[in-house]
Each structure stands twice: as C-alpha cells, then as structure tokens.
Structure 1
Amino acid sequence: MKNNVIEFKKKKADGKENGFHQKKLIGIDLPFDYEEVVSITGPEYVRNLHRDGIAVLPNEELKKNFADILLRAIEKPTFTKVSGVQIAENYYHHIGHSWVQPLQDGWVRIGIDDFTSKVFGPADPINLPPVGSFLMQGEMGWVLNRNDNEAPMQSPVSGIVFAVNDRIKEQPEITHDDPYGEGWLFLLNPVSLKIDMKALYLGKKCFRWIENEIQNLLKFLGPKSERLAATGGDLIDDIFGQFPEMDWDRLVETFLRTKENR
C-alpha cells in the first residue's frame, strides 16, 4: 500500500497544478484494501470499490446527482409490438422475462417485461430485494404475488442492489400498467455486465424469442387459446385472470423458469 499512498500524494499535487479539486476526483491504483482507502479518503468519500479502481465522489455530491440518475432512468423508451406484446427497444431481455436498461455511470435499471404483465396480470405485493443485497444472474431476485400464489423471478444480471422503487410497495399494479417506465423495480450496480449481457436478448433476436414464447403460451392454453381469435392473435391482458383454472405453478415454471416456494 505504501506505493499507492505515494501515488495518491503525487496525484494530489498534480491535481492542484491542473486545477482539479482533489476532494472531487481521486485516482486509486491497484492493489488496494477497503480500510486502507478509507484511511486516506475518509468514509464519506467512498462510493464504491471496483477491481479496476474508481474516481470517488463526496457523499453529498452523489446524493445531489442521484435524482438526475432516477429521472434519466424513467424516460419512456420506444416500443415494438410483437403479437400485442410491447418490447422496449434498446433494453436487454432475460429468458426469465425481466429486462435490463443500462444507465449512465455503469448502473442498470431492472424490471419485468410486458409478456409477464399480460400473462400473470396485476400483482399484489411484490417482494423486492433489500438495498445492499447481492443478486446472481439466473437466481431468484424477487417474487410476484397474486392472491395466494407466488411467482419467483430470476435476476437478469449479477450485482448489488443500489436502490428500489418505493412506489412498488404501495402501488404494485404499476408494474403491470407501465412495466418499462414507472413500474421499474430497482437499480443495480452490476459486477460482470459484459459477461452477463451475452445471455440476454436484444433487437431482432428478442422479437423472435418473444414470438416463440407466445407460440409456447398458445400450446400451453390448448383449446382455451381459441378465445384469443377475437384479438387477431394478439395476447389479451391478464391471461391468468381470464383463465383462473390454469396451473399457476406450471405457468411459473414454464415461462419464468423458476418454481414457487411452498
């Protein structure tokens, strides 16, 4: 760590010469230890530690910028419709029917897709992961509830939960009404985004996948799917509500690729 301290002091001096405020931008070279970094910067300056080092901001500066991050996150995307299912363009979709929106500064926003909204209908309470929890791609990240049924959903990427959408706690129905906008679930600080994205769908690949999922759903419904004829083949809203006799557990396992915890 001695070499890092020397490098840190050198950067402070260089920063003064170049007009930078050393309390606003600090370069940290590898290797480093969390406690050693805090002893230099003070805990109020540490936002996050990555293996590649980071430029850290004062906590008050982060708070000031956080509202802007949220505002950028909830901007309305453009959509493409596939058999009545809206797909947000430039969002990455996971096979478990959640989506990922890359944001500025490396954060990502997570939510459920329109296919889930149409198939499972409006949720009752949604069990969101607590802030600070670590989620692994492909493992259970949150749970949709409807009546006495549960639908665990997979996290589309790995990372640490940074903030949750508090509105979901009071108004879980907004995930159904506006799944890509106000109904987002949480913000995540990903740890292996480039790798995780290789398993996600985007663009035409996503359109083909959703079309295939719709065909699988029609097979799942069997003769009941005839009731979709009036819509021209587009999915009706709240399919489970229209066909409450459907096997919920099998629906969850087939399309969300998880199993309900009993």
Structure 2
Amino acid sequence: MMGRLAPHPGRGALMNHRIRTDVAHNARVWNHWLHGKDNYPVDRAVGDHITGLYPSIGDVARADRAFLGRVVTHLTAERGIRQFLDIGTGLPTAENTHEVAQRIAPDTRIVYVDNDPIVLAHARALLTGSAEGVTEYLDADAHDPQGILRAVEPTLDLRQPVAVVMLGILNFVLDTDEARTIVRTLMDAVPSGSALVVTHPTLELGGEGNEEAMAFWNENATPPITARTGAEIASFLDGLEIQEPGLVSCSRWRHDPSEGEPPLVAQYGAVGFKP
C-alpha cells in the first residue's frame, strides 16, 4: 500500500511557511552527516562546524543508522513483530524501517511520526511501502504521545505487539521526567510482546568532546538537544526485559562478530520488551 500523510488541519497551506532555511534543523544536518542531499547551506555550515568540534559525529550518525537496520531485522525475522511506530523519522535515506521490515515480512505495517514539514514532504514522495503492508506518515510531536496514539489507529492494532522506535529523539525532550512520561505513556498503550527501541547521545563512551559541540548546536540550530548518562537512559526502559547485550554503544549492539569489534561511538542503544 502506498504511504500517505495523515490529515493535519491546514498543513498544506502552512508547509512552505514552516520550512526554515535560515536556521539549521536536526533532520537536515543529520542527513548531511549521512552524505544525503536534502539539506540547505545553513545545515551544512552548522554540521561541518560541529564535525570540527567533534570529528566522530559522522560515525555516530552512521552507527545509529546501521543499528536501526539490525534492530528491525531482529524484531521482524526473529521476534515476529509486524507493526512499527517510528517516532522522529528524520529524512528518508537508504534502508528505512519499512524497507527492512517489509523485505522480510511484506505484510508489516509501519507508521512514521515527525513534525518537520520538509521531512513529511520527502516522506510522501519517497517512502512507499509494499503492496501487502501499510506505510503511513503522521504529522505529530513526540511531546504529545496521547495524540500519537489516537492517530495511529486503525493503521496499527494496539492489541497486537508494536515496536516503538525512538532513535535519537528523546534527547530533544530536555526534561528527563517528561521523557520518561512520554515513554511510559507509549508503552502502557501497547500489549505484552511489544518492544521499545532507543538510541540516545551521551558524554560517556568517549563522548566528552561532544559537550562543546552540543553547546554550539543549542546556540545555532533547532531543536535544542541534551546528552544523558547511561543510567538516565536505562531508566527509560524500566519495567521492560532488556534484550542482550543490554544498553551499549549502538555500534556494538548485536553486531556481526565476523567483522570484528566496531569502533565505540558515544550513542547508547538498547531494546526492551514488555513482559
């Protein structure tokens, strides 16, 4: 089924007005670090400056993307999950959630959530799903989990297991208690067997040099970001059964041992299952 944008009042009329080309935006800067083309000069300027402050940021972006592919493969092929709620989608690149999942199980249903108009415009044009499955896009904010849950039905059946994917999104929720509440609200709404997938930047794992880069980001780009400790990130998975190897650098989560141990990146990754 072809993907489509969920209705949003006035979205079409407001889209051009909402796209800011004078301020760097996370989705577009991330796209630049992944060597994409869907970004503006301001995004490249900010992204390159941050790379100068923290040279491994490109490695973080690529490791996070590779983690997504391994996780979706594992959840679809080994855990039998057929529904994904991917919050904070970002700009489409290769090996998006629906491409990985529907290649394994064509009947998989995916809802992408983002509230950046340029992300949604590209999603409508580029993210199309399999004929057997469903790929939908929702214009919504991660700060409003109840609104997201209301909007995903009937595309997703919340009586059946759902993988809630939150890669690099909780770091934009600056208050840790609010971030926990968002996660709890989402996971309370899905049944046993559902999964939470999280990545999050940290000043641990060799990421101390990222502090200056994050300060520059918060002064020159949007939305503002925060790093968290491993203990704080682990608290988002409270009450869930953590998949081995636990909370680790996302580059080392179930990596292919035949390729040797990948470099450590300052981005935690974990998967937890609702018992």
Task: Compute the TM-score of the two structures, normalised by the length of structure 1.
Answer: 0.22
